[in-house]
Amino acid sequence: MENAIRLVPASKEDKDLLARIEKEAGTSVSLCYQCGKCSAGCPVAFAMDNKPRQVIRFLQLGLIEAALGSDSIWICASCETCSARCPRGVDIASLMDALRREALRQGKITDKKVAVFNKAFLNGVKNFGRTYEAGLLLTHNFLTGQFFKDAELGLPMFKRGKLGLLPEKIKGREEVKKIFERVEEMGGE
Amino acid sequence: MKMAYYPGCSQEGSAIEYGLSTERTAELMGVELVEIEDWNCCGATSGHNTNKLLSLALPARNLAIAEKTGLDILVPCAACYNRFRTTEITVREDGEMREKIQQAIDMEYEAKNETISVLDLLANKLGPEKIKEKVKQPLKAMKAACYYGCLLVRPVHHTGFDDPEDPQTMDTILKALGAETVDWSHKTECCGAALATSRPEIGKRMTYEILKNARDAGAECIVTACPLCMMNLDMRQAGVEKEFREKFGLPIYFVTELVAAACGDAPEKVGTNRHFVEAVEYLKSLPAKAAQMEAEEQEKKKKKISKSEPANEEEAAALKKKIDAMAKGFAKNPEKTAARIIKDEEKAKLLAEIVTGDEKKISKLAELMITDQEKAIKTAEALINGELKKRQKQQA
């Protein structure tokens, strides 16, 4: 009975939240008839706690918390195989994206490393207008406490002229920074 | 042809050879590239994982600058390409979002121009004939697994220039360059790039599957058009080999590096010497292999000719006499002769019926009976089967 779930009708809040997630993802979970094709073709299903099909089922049942708390949404590689193959046209990959963003908004992140990486990546873009690969590697390792991760890559990359030590900066840095600020003001999605 | 050009961050850093070789490929194919002025990062996966509007606004700034030039945009990186296409299509189809994007970038943008990938440009816009014209050193003897990955073919609605399950554009390009491409199962499987940093144990297994399937299909190298795939397959190959205790040593190439090489460039010119898995030697080994292959083909042809062609006129005359005699016998007593070719009585009878009165068929079979018994049997069987089918059809 470990996997048994006590079902109660979804609350108004949950229904509203689901409607928002669906709108943002541009798809509807009620289309899904649980055939499992998404999960059969998913290249990372082997590492997921709940397969894509099950995450969709959670949403259909109004169990938004369970979907948001799934490790799976952070394991999803955004490869879009599921969306390409769904016979009902459910955009599962887009739902995963929307769930990640919602989890981020609610501060419910089961995998801190992904969030830390994303933040470091976007900070580089916000400040310089371009990706700062060297800074990204170092910041990421520092913030996640993995000081020597990928060390076997850093030096050889540098030697091959594949890793600039200083960031590339664009002239329109201020414009890019303003895009970040305006998006924040507008609430984004 | 003139195009706007968005190099993307990787092509100036970790995938510098992709940038160099894309620019060189354009030059070789007579495509003039105009770099988008003061372009910014597209936000990549981190962008769409974090904020939808941001993930559309960052590419939109570049697209809006490019739109002013009125040119279509060449985007080599598969991830940037995917983000650009997503933005373009959202702006075309979602009016509410278009307004928000314009507000966020504080610029006009209508998505009037088109973002194009390197594969689409080479295989569809230019086409294999145009490529063949420029090839100086065909990559004969190369056995390549064309690896498309995710972002160039999915979502179909955003990309759409190739099949999402069994794409062909890269195969078309490689064949135009003279290479042989293998059929394999992992053409569009994900390499796990998004997980390489955050969950390496998952990413490594995905990369391992791709390397293994390419090698098992008989490939001697893998070709990609994505800097993230390159990073996983090339830079992390040693790590994967260590983890799974299996040696691959598969060189990985950007498709554009191979265009340059086939058009006569030294591999070093476009940075192929900067790979982690040694990739120059394989390219340099190809001409010798190709020469050997050609020699073997010639040898085979020669043998075939000497087998069927008589050495001198005398022999030729003797042979003709034999064939004529056989044909005469065949025409005179078809059933008996047919039985010499086909053992089955009924079939032999049928064969006799078919050839009776048909001089052409008789002389052909007679010739084969003298020169190549096996072929005579095959030809006869084909005739019989054809007749049987015809009769079945008539009955039906």
**pLDDT tens figures, B67-110:** 999 999 999 999 999 999 999 999 999 999 999 999 999 999 99
Domains of chain A: 12-106 (1.10.1060.10), 112-185 (no CATH)
In a domain, B339, yes or no: yes
The pLDDT value recorded for residue B93 is 96
**Closest residue by Cα to residue A170 from B54, B50, B42, B75:** B42
Q: Has the ipTM of the complex gone over 0.85?
A: yes
Residue ranges making up the domain that contains B365 = 313-395
pLDDT band for position B320 (50/70/90)?
confident
Are B187 and B105 found together in one domain?
A: no
* Chain B residues close to A90, C-beta within 8 Å: none
pTM: 0.82
* SS3 category, B315: helix
Contact A178 B106 (CB under 8 A): yes
Euclidean distance between CA atoms B21 and B380, whole angstroms: 56
The pLDDT value recorded for residue A80 is 95
- How many interface pairs between A and B have CB atoms less than 8 angstroms apart? 171
Q: Are A81 and A121 in contact (CB under 8 A)?
A: no
Instruction: Give the up-direction half-sphere exposure of residue B24: CA atoms within 13 A in the CB hemisphere.
Output: 25
How long a stretch of residues is chain A?
189
A contact test, residue of B10, B16, B38, B50 with most A CBs within 10 A: B50
Residue B26 has pLDDT above 80, yes or no: yes
Least confident of B61-65, B112-116, B270-274, B361-365: B361-365
Which of B156, B199, B276 has its CB closest to that of A156?
B276
Instruction: Summarize pLDDT for B170-180 with one digit per residue, the tens.
Output: 999 999 999 99
Are B67 and B177 found together in one domain?
A: no
**Closest residue by Cα to residue A163 from B277, B225, B15, B18:** B15
Are B125 and B53 found together in one domain?
A: no
Instruction: Summarize pLDDT for B329-366 with one digit per residue, the tens.
Output: 888 888 888 888 888 888 888 888 888 888 888 888 88
The pLDDT value recorded for residue B41 is 96
Average pLDDT (B357-386) is: 86
Q: Are B261 and B178 in contact (CB under 8 A)?
A: no
Average pLDDT (A133-148) is: 68
Are B15 and B86 found together in one domain?
A: yes
pLDDT band for position A128 (50/70/90)?
very high
Contact B13 A121 (CB under 8 A): no
**Closest residue by Cα to residue A84 from B153, B193, B317:** B153
Residue B305 has pLDDT above 80, yes or no: no
What is the chain B residue with the closest CA to A25? B52
Contact B49 A83 (CB under 8 A): no
**Closest residue by Cα to residue A118 from A140, A148, A135:** A140
Domain end marker among B80, B101, B119: B119
In a domain, B297, yes or no: no
